[in-house]
């Protein structure tokens, strides 16, 4: 902020009273103003100084002060400096008339109050000018001793400046709180969108894997029916499709549970897959819990790799190795005896799927900052290696 802006910038934007004041501050504000009004009225009209027609001028001064004070407040709310200065001139005129007419308490309240609220609510340059004019009028017209005038002037100026600093601090605090709430809401929305994306990706992977295999079996069953094949063979295809549909539902529930934090240990999941596919499983390193996304990536890659072995090299022997490293986890799936493209595999299974299984796993690994490599190994088999930070 430049020096010019510091002197001409309005204080932090005003907010509704119910938001600006706590209940305790509201009670003090209303109570203090009520007491001040009572003191002014009693001091002005008490003691019998104004009787008969002489009571009309003090009533006019009091009503004029209220009206001009309201206009001053509205002009400040609208940030109309010329309106503020016009209302200030009117208040100084009313205070001067009240002082000349003997209503010294009313005049002093207008002078001192105008000086304080100007320092709190106006740009610094206008506040200094308005406050100086109000306090100068008080010093010249109050009739108080010089020492009292100096003390009151210094005290009012210091009090107004401290109130200005307090108001600015509370405004900055409100602004910071609003920014924190907005940032929290943005983070919550971003997390919700990311969660939806993860759920959509998991469901897509499960359904794409299971539905494609189901379609292959159902299509094979249809061809068998058209060709008059044995009923047992047809039933076998239908049962296989039904089993894959059940497996797809189980996998979907498992993925959603994992995303909610209900994680089954990764070793148990891989042992289940290895047993289902009749593969060998080895786990090396210190076992530890993994983040949900990393665990899902490892499971999905192992599932896809073992499914490819079953589809393209059903007679080969598969090995699954899971290695826990210091800052990452590594999965390696090898099969020996056959390589891709397949030769002699199950044609029905080999034709299932979209052909993008490992590509999807590679994209998943890259999203996690990891790497997936797939290709033939030196022993004439096929190797899939996944590394993800964890």
pTM over cut 0.95: no
What is the C-alpha separation between 173 and 179, in angstroms, rounded?
10
pLDDT value of position 349: 44
Question: Which ranges in 260-388 belong to alpha helices (H)?
Answer: 266-277, 292-312, 347-350, 357-367
What is the C-alpha separation between 270 and 300, in angstroms, rounded?
10
Q: Name the residue among 279, 272, 266, 271 with its Cα closest to residue 308.
A: 279
Question: Which ranges in 46-145 belong to alpha helices (H)?
Answer: 56-78, 81-101, 104-121, 124-141
381 secondary structure, DSSP code:
S
338, 381 in Cβ contact below 8 A? Answer: yes
Widest Cα–Cα separation across the chain: 123
pLDDT value of position 209: 67
pLDDT value of position 12: 64
What is the C-alpha separation between 199 and 205, in angstroms, rounded?
10
Residue 121 tokens, joined: 């609510």
Q: How many CB atoms neighbour CB 138 within 10 A?
A: 23
CA 215 to chain CA mean position, Å: 44
245, 284 in Cβ contact below 8 A? Answer: no
pLDDT value of position 357: 66
Tens digits of pLDDT across the chain (390 residues):
677 777 888 876 544 444 455 677 777 777 877 887 787 788 777 766 777 777 888 889 889 999 999 999 899 888 888 999 999 999 999 999 988 888 888 888 888 889 898 888 888 888 888 888 888 888 888 777 888 878 888 888 888 888 888 887 888 888 888 888 888 888 888 877 776 776 777 677 777 767 777 887 788 888 888 888 888 888 888 888 888 787 777 777 766 666 665 567 888 888 888 888 888 999 999 898 888 788 888 988 888 888 888 777 777 888 999 999 988 999 999 987 544 444 444 444 444 444 446 777 888 888 888 999 988 887 778 889 999 998
């Amino acid at each position: 902020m430049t020096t010019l802006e510091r002197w001409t910038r309005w204080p932090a934007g005003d907010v509704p009273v119910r938001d600006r004041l706590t209940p305790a501050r509201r009670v003090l504000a209303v109570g203090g103003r009520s007491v001040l009004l009572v003191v002014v009225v009693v001091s002005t009209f008490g003691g019998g100084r104004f009787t008969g027609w002489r009571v009309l001028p003090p009533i006019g001064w009091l009503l004029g002060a209220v009206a001009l004070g309201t206009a001053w407040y509205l002009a400040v709310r609208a940030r109309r400096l010329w309106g503020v200065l016009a209302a200030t001139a009117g208040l100084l005129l009313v205070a001067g008339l009240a002082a000349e007419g003997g209503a010294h308490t009313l005049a002093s309240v207008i002078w001192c109050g105008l000086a304080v609220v100007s320092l709190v609510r106006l740009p610094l340059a206008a506040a200094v000018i308005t406050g100086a004019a109000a306090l100068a009028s008080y010093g010249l017209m109050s009739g108080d001793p010089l020492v009292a005038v100096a003390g009151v002037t210094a005290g009012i100026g210091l009090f107004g400046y401290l109130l200005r600093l307090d108001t600015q601090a509370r405004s900055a605090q409100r602004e910071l709180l609003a920014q924190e709430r907005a940032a929290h809401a943005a983070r919550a929305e971003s997390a919700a969108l990311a969660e939806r994306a993860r759920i959509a990706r998991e469901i897509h992977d499960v359904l794409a894997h299971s539905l494609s295999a189901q379609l292959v079996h159902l299509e094979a069953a249809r061809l068998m029916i058209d060709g008059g094949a044995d009923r047992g063979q047809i039933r076998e295809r239908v049962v296989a499709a039904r089993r894959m549909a059940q497996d797809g539902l189980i996998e979907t529930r498992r993925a959603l549970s994992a995303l909610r934090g209900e994680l089954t240990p990764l070793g148990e999941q891989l042992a289940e897959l290895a047993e289902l596919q009749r593969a060998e499983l080895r786990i090396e390193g210190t076992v530890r819990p993994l983040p949900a996304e990393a665990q899902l990536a490892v499971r999905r890659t192992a599932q896809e790799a073992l499914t490819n072995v079953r589809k393209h090299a059903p007679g080969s022997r598969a090995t699954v190795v899971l290695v826990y490293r210091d800052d990452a986890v590594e999965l390696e799936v090898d099969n020996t005896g056959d390589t891709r493209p397949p030769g002699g595999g199950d044609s029905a299974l080999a034709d299932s799927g979209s052909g993008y299984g490992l590509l999807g796993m590679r994209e998943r690994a890259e999203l996690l900052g990891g790497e997936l490599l797939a290709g033939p190994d030196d022993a004439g088999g096929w190797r899939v290696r996944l590394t993800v930070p964890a």
